[in-house]
């Protein structure tokens, strides 16, 4: 019998069907069902569900910065500028945004984002890296996700194209590649060596893909690692850049966790800095940042940006055009992005404003650092579980050593052993 | 000589290169240059530029609704709930959102959007149409654009697929089809008959495309028209639905101007209502709405939604999955969408709150209606220009009757006559 629908699973986009997004996959759906069951009074050996499948700090009680929300609310409703509910520094900051964006949050901004915000981001990058940054090369986005979407859409040109992805990885990449009908070229991080990138491993993955006819176009590096929590050393970064250069790959640097580094002596270094300072390997670089992570964890507001470095101007024109098709990033997220990279300082703020901000920032950082340590210790204390130290980001990635019989049982049920493990008890 | 870049115009996405987006095309770029020139003191026969190439009301001084911005600012910064800067009705509304979304704006919401907002949208649709609406079939989006992007991405399955588009049209559609490497199947609105849809014209366009081997999958209808400003009659809608049904087409109903109707006796009727009430033609329907237009004109905040009607459940699952890949729509836009479809009423608000809202709403409506009339009258008064009455939306679409010599000159310069006309004087 013919379907009564014109649009069916048979004639819809194959690319959409093939895209898998594990973050909201089988386990997430099961958790949703159990959560619903708990609400309806069903009995489980626990009374609540804690959803740790995605970094969403404010769900767990992390408060937003007082200063940021005050400024955002005043930009949202400039009436507040005429009241005395906020410190004058807050009002001054809100006024600055409204001066540079006189139509406020309600008008479309430049497609690339408010100029004032791009200028401030460029200053932030220059200060961070000691390398020049041009506001024209910065594109504000609704979270890093949108930037990755636009970048991959620009780079990928046909069904033979492929992109190198770290394994374990943040599953968004696999999904975006499926949507763009491109090959996933996995490279394996070395768990025994603290999730290090192995250059031999990179080359091996690349060569294997090429042998299969894949036109490898780009490599994604997530630093600090998601979900593996490692922080790259300068040498690893340089080796990776040299590898990308040798094989003519565009580098996509996912640096959304640049503020989330907990390991003593470890420090975030941007790929841009390393590329710029080693002009032997002038690779094409896209760098991504977001307001969703870091210390603010403002996931829902959707802010972020990407910076182009050493990108052909004709290609950049196309990226700008593509960005215009999606009109503009949400303006609230743009202002929040500015607040992220341009926070109150001892120089530009009254002591009480600056001190409150610093106190809140330190509190969040200490809490994240403490939890990273606690989670690792707890996982390590479990029988049959090992876990590397969380150096950065917001995730621990344990290894579950399953008995042979469990693996055989999974095989018999035609599911993966880790899925069997996580589904146990239901 | 080889390019020093790995990513070049030759190896990047052809689909991105081919996508044209006229709203920010040649004229828009020229206007930008002249604007810059004016700032630098260059002389022109005018002193300022008014950018009318995109509906962006707040740039022209249209104020946002006081109530909406007060509520949004209090949801953004719940500290304000403890102050007396706002009317208690405003605080109550903000509290309601925070009650249903206890992590506030800073956490990811459900990918489909806050449940409370989807429930309210369903109620709004039921009241508007007298037809049942299910919150599970509603997807909140960052503006209608994102919804169209996701919908077309889902529907289009290969290089032979095509979508019918009105001409004149809002150029986003052409751009999105290029990105999805699908065929544009134009159908021409009848200018002499006030931009009516001609069913014979639809069938002719469809047949011609099929003859060329195009697999026509869907038809886009924009009502009220963009940029043509007409409002469809019930008969036109029914005929269009019958046409879609006969040819097994999915209907995409762009209804973002549903509040912008200025013609006496004209009324917005949704495609959903007509489809639901005429069960002879149970077509697959996607309907789009946005906070950017209507009477609030909140373009920058990026809110909106789409509703699925009569969509196969397996397809819907895929749409939900696709939506999750982009995490969630920005939360500020979600709250604003609720404010759009769930405004203060005489029943739920203190008289002073309701009256201020109504006064502002009437002011905006009257101003838009007046301007629609003024613009048409002005255009009609120009020599060699004709223009249909603006019945709805925010645009007038004049015809410029150029002398034969101008058309020949354009041909000699290898540009279109309308571009020659608009570029004159530079």
Q: CA angle, B277 as apex, B276 and B283 as ends, to 5°? A: 40
A318-349 pLDDT, tens digit per residue, is 999 999 888 899 999 999 999 999 999 999 99
Residues in chain B: 426
Distance from CA of B193 to the nearest CA of A (A): 31
Handedness of CA B112, B118, B122, B128 (dihedral sign): negative
* Non-local CB neighbours of A138 within 8 Å, separated by 6+ positions: A112, A113, A118, A121, A122, A305, A306, A307, A308
**Interface size between A and B, measured as CB pairs under 8 A:** 274
Asked whether A120 and A127 are in contact (CB, 8 A), the reply is no
The ipTM (two decimal places) reads 0.95
The answer to whether B31 faces chain A, any CB pair under 8 Å, is no
Contact residues, chain A, for B243 at CB < 8 Å: none
* Residue A112 burial class via C-beta count within 10 angstroms: exposed 0-12, middle 13-18, buried 19 and up: buried
User: CA nearest B395: which of B185, B195, B174?
Assistant: B195
User: CA nearest B334: which of B294, B302, B287?
Assistant: B302
3-class DSSP state of A254: strand
CB contact under 8 A, A315 and B12: yes
Q: Which residue of A has its CA nearest to B154?
A: A13
CB contact under 8 A, A21 and B321: yes
Helix, strand, coil % in chain B, rounded to nearest 5 = 45, 10, 40
Contact residues, chain A, for B14 at CB < 8 Å: 157-158
Q: Is the pLDDT of residue A1 over 50?
A: no
Using the 8-state DSSP alphabet, how is residue B105 labeled? G
CB contact under 8 A, B155 and A7: yes
In whole angstroms, what is the distance from residue B29 CA to residue B24 CA? Answer: 7
Residues in chain A: 426
CB contact under 8 A, A301 and B17: no
* Dihedral pair phi/psi, residue B41, rounded to 5°: 90, 10
Closest Cβ–Cβ partner in B6, B310, B312 for A249? B6
Q: Which residues of chain B are in CATH 3.40.640.10 domains?
A: 104-341
Give, for all 426 residues of chain B, the pLDDT tens digit.
Answer: 445 899 999 999 999 988 876 656 678 778 888 988 998 999 998 998 888 878 899 998 899 999 999 999 999 999 999 999 999 999 999 999 999 999 999 999 999 999 999 999 999 999 999 999 999 999 999 999 999 999 999 999 988 999 999 999 888 899 999 999 999 999 999 999 999 999 999 999 999 999 999 999 999 999 999 999 999 999 999 999 999 999 999 999 999 999 999 998 899 999 999 999 998 999 999 999 999 999 999 999 999 999 999 999 999 999 999 998 888 999 999 999 999 999 999 999 999 999 999 999 999 999 999 999 999 999 999 999 999 999 999 999 999 999 999 999 999 999 889 888 888 755
In whole angstroms, what is the distance from residue B129 CA to residue B304 CA? Answer: 18
What is the pLDDT of chain A when averaged over all its residues? 93
CB contact under 8 A, B77 and A73: yes
A203-242 pLDDT, tens digit per residue, is 999 999 999 999 999 999 999 999 999 999 999 999 999 9
Asked whether A209 and A162 are in contact (CB, 8 A), the reply is yes
Closest Cβ–Cβ partner in B7, B103, B324 for A21? B324
Q: State which CATH number among 3.90.1150.10, 3.40.50.300, 1.25.40.10, 3.40.640.10 fits the domain covering B104-341.
A: 3.40.640.10
Q: Which residue of B has its CA nearest to A324?
A: B24
User: Could you write out the DSSP letters of every residue in A278-307?
Assistant: -TT----EEEEEESSSTTT--TTT--EEEE
Using the 8-state DSSP alphabet, how is residue B222 labeled? E
Q: Over A300-315, what HEC string results?
A: CCCCEEEEEECCCHHH
Mean pLDDT computed over A5-29: 83
A3 pLDDT band (50/70/90 cuts)? low
The answer to whether A79 faces chain B, any CB pair under 8 Å, is yes
CB contact under 8 A, A312 and B3: yes
The answer to whether A11 faces chain B, any CB pair under 8 Å, is yes
The answer to whether A155 faces chain B, any CB pair under 8 Å, is yes
* A148, A219, A302: best to mutate for the B interface, most B CBs within 10 A: A302
CB contact under 8 A, B249 and A16: no
Closest Cβ–Cβ partner in A14, A318, A332 for B330? A332
* Residue B33 burial class via C-beta count within 10 angstroms: exposed 0-12, middle 13-18, buried 19 and up: exposed
3-class DSSP state of B97: helix
Per-residue confidence (pLDDT) for residue B32, from 0 to 100: 82
Closest Cβ–Cβ partner in B4, B172, B330 for A282? B4
Q: Which residue of B has its CA nearest to A74?
A: B73
Closest Cβ–Cβ partner in B103, B154, B300 for A328? B300
Per-residue confidence (pLDDT) for residue A275, from 0 to 100: 96
* Non-local CB neighbours of A15 within 8 Å, separated by 6+ positions: A178, A179, A180, A181
**Helix B66-76 with B351-381: angle, nearest 10 deg:** 120
Give CA separation, B67 vs B88, B303, B358, B359, in Å: 11, 17, 11, 12
Contact residues, chain B, for A85 at CB < 8 Å: 80, 83, 85
A171 pLDDT band (50/70/90 cuts)? confident
Contact residues, chain B, for A246 at CB < 8 Å: none
């Amino acid at each position: 019998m013919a379907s009564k629908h014109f649009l069916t699973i048979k004639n819809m986009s194959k690319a959409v069907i093939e895209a898998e997004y594990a973050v909201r996959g089988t386990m997430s759906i099961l958790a949703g069902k159990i959560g619903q069951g708990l609400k309806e009074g069903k009995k489980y050996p626990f009374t609540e569900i804690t959803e740790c499948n995605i970094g969403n700090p404010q769900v767990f009680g992390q408060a937003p910065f007082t200063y940021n929300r005050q400024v955002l609310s005043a930009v949202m409703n400039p009436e507040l500028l005429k009241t005395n509910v906020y410190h004058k520094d807050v009002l001054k900051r809100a006024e600055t945004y409204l001066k540079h964006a006189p139509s406020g949050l309600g008008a479309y901004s430049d497609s690339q984002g408010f100029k004032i915000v791009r200028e401030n981001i460029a200053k932030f990058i220059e200060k961070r890296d000691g390398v020049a940054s041009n506001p024209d090369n910065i594109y504000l986005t609704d979270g890093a996700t949108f930037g990755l979407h636009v970048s991959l859409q620009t780079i990928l040109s046909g069904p033979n194209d492929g992109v190198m992805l770290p394994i374990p990885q943040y599953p968004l990449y696999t999904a975006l590649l499926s949507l763009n009908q491109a090959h996933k070229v996995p490279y394996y991080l070395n768990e025994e060596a603290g999730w290090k990138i192995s250059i031999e491993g990179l080359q091996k993955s690349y060569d294997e893909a090429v042998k299969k006819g894949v036109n490898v176009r780009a490599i994604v590096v997530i630093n600090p690692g998601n979900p593996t929590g490692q922080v790259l050393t300068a040498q690893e970064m340089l080796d990776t850049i040299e590898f990308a250069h040798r094989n003519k790959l565009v580098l996509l640097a996912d640096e959304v966790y640049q503020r989330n580094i907990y390991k003593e002596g470890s420090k975030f270094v941007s790929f841009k800095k390393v590329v710029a300072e080693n002009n032997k390997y002038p690779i094409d670089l896209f760098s991504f940042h977001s307001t969703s992570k870091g210390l603010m964890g403002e996931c829902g507001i959707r802010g972020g940006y990407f910076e182009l470095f050493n990108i052909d101007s004709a290609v950049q024109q196309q990226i700008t055009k593509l960005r215009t098709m999606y009109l503009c990033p949400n303006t609230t997220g743009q202002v929040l992005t500015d607040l992220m990279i341009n926070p109150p300082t001892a120089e530009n703020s009254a002591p009480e404003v600056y001190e409150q901000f610093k106190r809140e920032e330190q509190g969040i950082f200490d809490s994240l650092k403490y939890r990273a340590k606690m989670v690792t210790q707890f996982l390590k204390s479990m029988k049959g579980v090992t876990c590397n130290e969380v150096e950065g980001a917001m995730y621990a990635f344990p290894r579950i050593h399953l008995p042979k019989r469990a693996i055989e049982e999974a095989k018999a049920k035609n599911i993966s052993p880790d899925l069997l493990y996580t589904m146990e008890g239901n």
